[in-house]
Chain A
Amino acid sequence: MKLPLKWLKEYVDFNVTPAEFAERMLLRGFEVAEIIPEMDGIDGVYVCEITAIEPHPNADKLRVCTVDAGGEESLQIVTNATNVKVGDQVPVALDNATLTGGLVIHPTKMRGVASAGMFCGNEEIGITDVEYPGCENGGVMVFAERHPNGQRIQEALDLDDCIFDIELTPNRPDCQSIIGICREAAAALGQTFREPEIKEVKGYGDCRDVASVTVENPYLCPRYTARVVTDLNIEPSPLWMQRKLRQVGLRPINNIVDITNLVLVEYGHPMHAFDLACVADNHIVVRNAKEGEIVYTLDGKERVMSADMLLIADPTKGVGVAGVMGGLNSEITENTKATLFESAVFRPENIRSTARRLHHVTDSAARFIKGVEPVNAALALDRAIELVEELHAGRVMGGMIDVCAADLKEKQVAASVSHINEILNTDLTAERMAELLSSINIPTEPVGDALRIRVPHFRTDIEDGIETDWDIAEEVGRLYGYTNIAPTLMRGDTFRGRIGLAFKDEDVIKDAMAALGCLELYNYNFISPKELEDLMIEEDDERRRTVRLMNPFGEDQSLMRTELAGGLLRAACLNLNRKTGFGRFFEVGNVHFDNGDLPEERKLLGIIHTGAEESFFTLKGTLEALFEKLGIERVRFEKGGSPYLHPTQKAIMTVGGEKLGEIGAVHPKVQRAFGLSAPAYIAELDFAALRRSMVRLRKYKPLPKYPAVQRDIALIVDDGMEAQQVIDVIEAAKARVLVENVRVFDVYRPKLPGDKGIPMGKKSMAFTFQLRADDHTLTDDEIGQAVNAILKSLKFRLNAELRA
């Protein structure tokens, strides 16, 4: 909403600086986004009088002028202007002046003669005939009246005003008007609001005798008012009106159209003027359009209507799309003799849907969507008629056509003073509250603990119902000032605050990941269908069960992710390309699977390691450290995993038979598809599974009373043998003592036949383990038997030989 200061001053005594005004409005809920000075960007331009003109010694087309700039000494200006003479007062840009487009002026020499500045034309100072008639002369602007030499041009042109650009909240459609916002501004300034009185224009005859209106759908059009003006004199509107329209960014067209636009700005109510000669039988019908009915709107476009859209028609054809735009066939032209002014109320949601489907949200439509009210409709119409009379734009007919299904009765509500004080934690008297409300023209009478409020027609946001006390509390609080309410801490019963277990677990896991050298990513949830192709996810994989957005930014962000791998790979890629030196990242994030109704939401932990020093085993090391931190023991790694992982370097991690997740090198094809310049290693883990497996409280285990002995064995096994197979057999062997901490510590493959006595196709693996008993120190016999039992079992089950 643009509010020019000069306009405000017509209704309110303005007694503070613009900045102070902005602050006061802000604290009442009206944020001034910008204070725009008139002649924005123009500075250092002054009124100067030309006292002498000499020819330029070196240039025929230049002249050397002496000017009086109001100072002690006169200045010399070189100009190519031909329209100035001695005695003229002209605008001069002096040293450091800024002009349109950010141009900065400095003293200079022109063909060898010094010039202290520049004479300005209207374009250089950004004004037109509207602001100053006659200034568009093609040369240097010459002032028509006398001004003091040296006066700032803003003062000379009376263009030193400013415009407040005010942001409005959707609950205050009444403030989408100069009248409405000035009402609030007056209260903010502590001044009275001089509400303009609209002079009634009686007119001749009665327009109801010549024109009529039928509203077929009173739900979508609760009120339709109209008046008729004949003997029109279509011409440009007066300069004051043009100037006002330009100030708020509207283009003047002709007096009748400008009147409707000015009323829209002043009263916030959209109007339309029809050429009455083009309305068959002078009869307006407000009805639903027929499916496929075509209307050509003022902008020349064909609009195909549907049955739920509201049409303004005459008995034979459509003449406008209700609330959106008038029809081309009934447009005001210079030949229009009589007009019917429409000021109506249409349902916001209907106009919203119509305007959106026609892809055309006009200023009018925007206002209807925000909400208009029926009393104001008639006010706006009267104001338009007053302007017609004032501008002598035509002969006004008497009477007003008014088809009204709306309730025009004043709403009366009651609010509880004590309840309002409770909501705000204030101690205001009923009288004080009444006074505050009255300052914005809400007549209020205190009666005991109640406020009896006559809700003015423009405050459609104040409800009569369960919300009333809250509505009034909001107004009272706002006017009293939120800053005047002292903060308190909550009273009453105390609460036991706590962090939920899921949140705590997430903290533990994230902290562990950071401690392991990983940086935390927050990737977007949107992915491209191509990402799943690039990851070689198969058609029947559940990760293809994606949730698709109806209105994504584009196809490449059209799906909700079902995996974290893609985002991890992109981040790794970015860091490799930028050579940041960082290669370890993790993310905890949700993935979504289509489920018909609400999607299934699953939280995952994704980890990526990339760079020359990383390998499957460095990532495995990270995971082992994480499991250790979480108290998850005996995680098994078994070959297998998603297609995006390297076929011979991937594993599924399980604990107690439950799948925790997958780990692996990234498949070379996937690495190429993502444009990754180094190998990468990814793990994806199911967050819920991690949480189920983690041990939050580790109970004390008694320390062993008797010492353990350590034994190492080196075995010759098949080359394809996995360490885990051997460990499983060692642990399961009937050793009759406790076998603990079995680990592999060396693997050796022969490089040539006979290498270290290991046949080709076999390899050597060395293991270490501890033997112990709870109730005594093991004897040598027991140890020997245990080792033998283990070796026997290894031989029998894995054909593993003890290496000589």
Chain B
Amino acid sequence: MFEELLAIREAALGELQRIESEEGLNELSTSVLGRGGKLTAILRTMGKLSAEERAEMGKRANAVKQELTELFEQRRAKLSELAEQRKIEREAIDVTLPGVRRAVPTGALNPLTLVYREIRDALIGLGFTTFEGPEVEYDEYNFTLLNLPPNHPARDMQDTFYVNDRVLLRTHTSPCEARALKTLDLPFRLVIPGRCFRVDEPDASHSPVFMQMEGLVVDRNVSLADLKGTIDSFVKAVFGENVESRLRPSYFPFTEPSAEVDISCTICGGKGCSSCKGTGWMEIMGCGITNPHEIENCGHSSEEWRAFAWGVGVDRVACLKYGISDIRLIYEGDGRFLSQFK
């Protein structure tokens, strides 16, 4: 009986080598391991054997069954890999043939791009120039030079993704202020867009990746009134002539005086509704007169130069402008959302 078992094994192995298709493999598998298969048949005849022999035979038969099952599976994987390779070969194309232009509906830019351009273009008219800096930044530029030395309590306001002790994902576009102050000739007016990162679990109003636009004006005689005027002009450019803006006192380590900017509610027009919690105003960004320490840290005299700056969340403006209730939609990539902003 052992010999029969060995013969079945030998025969199966021999056939296995010749099989070139999954169908063939299935047939072989059924004819050996299936309910009516050779191996099953031999196991059925074991009743005739003595108890000892039966145990030994059972062990061997199972070993053969296991071995064959594994080999069949390996072969199956190999065959499907081969089949896929053959399919890939069959699908070969001449990549130098000309492309095909399909007639498709026009696409659309992301609302972030649209809002960024609107803000930028409004500021270009006021004499601003674009500037940019790296998304992965030194701690020194993101915090220290901006009057946020290590252990400053306000660092808690910004939960930061770190790469190492010295390098982080910028939490705002403000490190570009330090880069500009250190590299450009004064005076200047800059608008600085870019992606920023904070450790915020995504929800309807937070995203760990977001887009900010920094404004920075350095000159000899700028004032809080100029900051108000500048912000009001781009608020009107983005939201419309009827939208009012106001500044109210706040605190940021990089500016003093600091302010939050509110705009009259874009939903109710300032009468008070649920979107503005009945106040008629919506907060859109922070701004202020640049802290003299920052000017000095970047190698300039704070007596000679005065600056003002703001950082506006492009995401936030986009949500307000277009009435988007969940910031995650902007990043999710659903075409039914993205195709609306043409």
Contact = CB atoms under 8 A, between A and B. Distances in A.
Is this pair of chains taken from one and the same complex? yes
Interface of A: 23, 26-29, 169-172, 348-349, 352-353, 369-371, 422-426, 466-467, 470-471, 473-474, 477-478, 482-483, 485-500, 502-503, 507, 510-511, 513-526, 547-553, 560, 570-571, 574-575, 578, 580-586, 590, 592, 597-599, 601, 613-625, 636-639, 646-651, 663, 665, 668-669, 722-725, 727, 743-744, 747
Nearest to A723: B96
A625 B100 CA distance: 10
B209 interface: yes
A520 B107 contact: yes
B184 interface: no
10 contacts: A466-B296, A470-B257, A482-B259, A489-B229, A490-B229, A525-B209, A560-B169, A599-B136, A622-B101, A743-B98
Given A467-B292, A550-B162, A598 B134 contact: yes
Contacts of A552: 161
A232 B302 CA distance: 58
B153 A517 contact: no
- Which residue of B219, B223, B251, B258 has the most chain A CB atoms within 10 A of its CB atom? B223
B112 interface: yes
B333 A585 contact: yes
B124 interface: yes
B127 A560 contact: no
B163 A550 contact: yes
Interface string B187-227: 11100000101010100000011010000010111111110
A498 B124 contact: yes
The interface size bin for chain B is 35 or more
A639 B95 contact: yes
B71 to A, nearest CB: 24
Of residues B99, B164, B221, which shows the largest number of chain A Cβ atoms within 10 Å of its Cβ? B99
B128 A477 contact: no
Interface in B4-40: none
Nearest to A475: B257
Given A422-B223, A423-B224, A548 B95 contact: no
A466 B151 CA distance: 21
A470 B291 contact: yes
A526 B207 CA distance: 12
A553 B188 CA distance: 39
A520 B153 CA distance: 39
Give the top 7 A-B pairs by smallest Cβ distance, nearest first: A582-B335, A495-B127, A29-B249, A620-B99, A621-B99, A169-B251, A517-B104
B89 interface: yes
A523 B331 contact: yes
A474 B257 contact: yes
Contact of A638 (B95, B221, B224, B330): B95
A482 B248 contact: yes
Given A601-B135, A621-B102, A487 B232 contact: yes
Contacts of A744: 97-98
Contacts of B110: 519-522
B100 A467 contact: no
A547 B100 contact: no
Nearest to B149: A349
Nearest to B336: A580
A499 B130 contact: yes
Given A370-B153, A474-B258, A581 B221 contact: no
B173 to A, nearest CB: 14
Given A483-B247, A495-B127, A743-B98, A490 B217 contact: yes
B106 interface: yes
Given A424-B224, A648-B91, A590 B230 contact: no
A747 to B, nearest CB: 7
B334 A548 contact: no
Nearest to A722: B96
A488 B136 contact: no
A228 to B, nearest CB: 33
B157 interface: yes
A593 B84 CA distance: 33
Contacts of A500: 129-132
B109 A169 contact: no
Nearest to A572: B333
Given A423-B306, A495-B128, A647-B88, 9 more contacts: A171-B251, A426-B225, A466-B293, A489-B126, A489-B233, A519-B110, A551-B199, A620-B99, A625-B101
A299 to B, nearest CB: 23
Interface in B58-109: 84, 87-89, 91-102, 104-109
A650 B332 CA distance: 28
A484 B110 CA distance: 38
Contacts of A620: 95, 98-100
B310 interface: no
Contact of B130 (A348, A489, A503, A625): A503
A617 B131 CA distance: 38
Contacts of A617: 93, 97-100
Contacts of A171: 251
A652 to B, nearest CB: 9
B221 A492 contact: yes
B123 interface: yes
Given A621-B99, A668-B88, A29 B107 contact: no
Nearest to A352: B151
A736 to B, nearest CB: 26
Contact of B99 (A473, A507, A511, A622): A622
A499 B151 CA distance: 38
A725 B104 CA distance: 31
Contacts of A515: 106-107
A737 B228 CA distance: 68
B117 A507 contact: yes
Contacts of A486: 225, 228
Nearest to A471: B256
Nearest to B210: A522
A75 B80 CA distance: 84
B172 interface: no
Contacts of A485: 224-225, 228, 247
B338 interface: yes
A571 B333 CA distance: 5
A482 B247 contact: yes
Interface in B145-159: 151, 153-154, 156-157
Given A495-B127, A648-B93, A490 B230 contact: yes
Contact of A525 (B102, B129, B195, B338): B195
Given A490-B222, A520-B110, A584-B107, A601 B96 contact: no
Interface in B303-323: 306
Given A477-B249, A581-B335, A494 B154 contact: no
B208 A514 contact: no
Nearest to A512: B107
A514 B108 contact: yes
Contacts of B306: 422-423
B113 A650 contact: no
Contacts of B125: 497
A369 B156 CA distance: 10
A731 to B, nearest CB: 13
Given A478-B249, A524-B209, A580-B335, A646 B109 contact: no
Contacts of B118: none
B88 A621 contact: no
A650 B225 contact: no
A553 B209 CA distance: 12
B143 interface: no
Nearest to A725: B96
Nearest to A640: B95
A510 B338 CA distance: 14
Given A483-B246, A524-B209, A601 B333 contact: no
Nearest to A30: B249
Contacts of B164: 550
A54 B197 CA distance: 70
A523 B153 contact: no
A647 B105 CA distance: 31
A598 B138 contact: yes
